[in-house]
Structure 1
Amino acid sequence: MIKLAKKIAFILTLALLLGLMLFFFFDKPLPEGEEGPAADQLADKMLRAVNYQAWESTVAAQWTFFRGHNFLWDKKRNLVRVLWDDFQVLLRTTDQSGKAFKNGKELSGDEASEALKTAWEYFANDSFWLAAPFKVYDPGTSRKLVKTDRGDALLVSYASGGVTPGDSYLWILDDDGTPQAWQLWVRIIPVGGMEFSWEGWETYENGVKLSNLHDGIMDIKISDIKLAMEVSDLNDGIDPFQNM
């Protein structure tokens, strides 16, 4: 027992030291920037590069996040179907209400509430990795132009929205405004400035451009991306929300 306790203590100490090393060597402060027309012009340039107008006119989106979460989103009606493991949730994104099922059986009470909460958290996070470039003017955002050794970058901060308000993202853009990477200052990652790539760009319905790979401390892959003008077009002609 003494040897086991010493081994556990050694592992915990090593993990703590590695965490401290990661923090001190890689943690970056939130960069300084300037709000105003120049920042908004850079944001507009990014929106043009990813075809924001086409995204806004597209009604439905479907994708699978790398953790096995599948989404069918009706943007016009603010409804999303979330599938994972044995769960299916039909969620209203405006107030996080809806219906939850496990193995085809509708849940109620605390089980339903927990499933709805989980579905909302999955959607808020996973849709952001899909569509964050389109959200630089969301309510509660501020934009700053940041001078970097990689050119002008766009710092977007979120005072509200999602499940972790207060997060900030620094967009690294190429010459035409297409995102190449972002650096994160977010609650769920204790090291500030962690970077993930935005790559695997493809063009979808109406000319919308979406990235399907984010390479960083882990690879975040998005697959089975489809867009349409009606949600039923992505679900064998059936509207999954007809009884909502």
Structure 2
Amino acid sequence: MKKKFFKLLKILVLSILIMLISVPVILYLSLNEKLPKGEMSKDADIFALKIQKAVNHDRYQNTDFLQWTFRNKNHYIWNKTNNTVKVEFNENKVHLDLNDFKKSRVLTPLNSSKKIIKKALDNFNNDSFWLVAPHKLFDKGTTRKLVTLKDNSTGLLITYSSGGTTPGDSYLWKVDENYRPVSYKMWVSILPIGGIEATWEDWIITESGAYFSQQHTLLGFDIPVTNLKAWNN
């Protein structure tokens, strides 16, 4: 009886191990996409300019202040004129100086923890990208390529060779008939699977005249941007 029990137990454990190993492999094989090659050309730059025109990039450039909350937990007030940011996450309040990181400081609790400041910067780099990525198509170190999508429409592949927290990441933009983004696929270091798609929805025009997306969906999960304001002095 004991032998039969242990035999069944071994079979059960083995089955669970096989399942734990096979499920990620199946997901990887079914979801993973290779980074498309694309073609660098003047047409790619023209395409990118049309996207920026659709989101009023000129108004974004002249915006003095940008405020938002990411996923209902990280809060930001970005003084774009001075390039400083007030960041709030968990119980922490941090003053980030994007021009001179050494001048950044923790406001609450009152200490100079480099880990907290680094975390605030990493959060800002990630969370601001979900807000202003369409305005970063010509950042220093970017390359732009046109890609033919599965539905035979044209997409724009942007690769960041420098800057941010994870240089080398690539994004394939899909746009509507007015060149406003509707989604992008990602090939990024923080995700083990390439080509995961996130939506860009619920666009609003802010006080400064720039357009921003307030809602993203990634693998069925909502990524909301709330408390969004952009204004000038």
Same fold flag (TM > 0.5): yes
Cross-structure match for 2:147: 146
Give 5+ residue unaligned stretches, structure 1.
231-244
Cross-structure match for 1:127: 128
- The question of whether the paired residues in 2 share the 8 Å contact of 1:58 and 1:205 is answered with no
Q: Is 1:163 aligned to residue 170 of structure 2?
A: no
Give the Å deviation of 1:206. Answer: 3.0
Cross-structure match for 2:182: 180
Letter of the 2:193 partner, please give it.
V
Q: Aligned equivalents of 1:4 and 1:164: distance in 2?
A: 45
Match of 2:29 among 17, 24, 30: 24
Greater C-alpha radius of gyration: 2
- The question of whether the paired residues in 2 share the 8 Å contact of 1:62 and 1:224 is answered with yes
Match of 1:52 among 54, 57, 60: 57
- The question of whether the paired residues in 2 share the 8 Å contact of 1:150 and 1:172 is answered with no
1:13-39 CA deviation, whole Å, 9 max, x = no partner?
A: 533322111110110011121101100
Letter of the 1:184 partner, please give it.
M
1:189-210 CA deviation, whole Å, 9 max, x = no partner?
A: 1111000111011111232110
TM-score by length of 2: 0.90
Letter of the 1:106 partner, please give it.
L
What is the number of residues matched between the two proteins? 224
Give the Å deviation of 1:49. Answer: 0.2
Give 5+ residue unaligned stretches, structure 2.
1-5
Letter of the 2:157 partner, please give it.
L
Match of 1:224 among 217, 220, 227: 227
What percentage of residue pairs aligned between the two structures are identical?
Answer: 37
**Partner-residue secondary structure (3-state), 2:229:** strand
Q: Is 1:99 aligned to residue 105 of structure 2?
A: yes
Q: Aligned equivalents of 2:117 and 2:175: distance in 1?
A: 36
Q: Aligned equivalents of 1:5 and 1:81: distance in 2?
A: 55
For the structure 1 residues 106 and 19, does the alpha-carbon distance in structure 2 shift closer, same or farther, using more than 3 Å as the test?
Answer: same
Give the Å deviation of 1:151. Answer: 0.8
TM-score by length of 1: 0.86
Cross-structure match for 2:3: none
Q: Aligned equivalents of 2:152 and 2:192: distance in 1?
A: 24
**Partner-residue secondary structure (3-state), 1:133:** helix
Letter of the 2:210 partner, please give it.
V
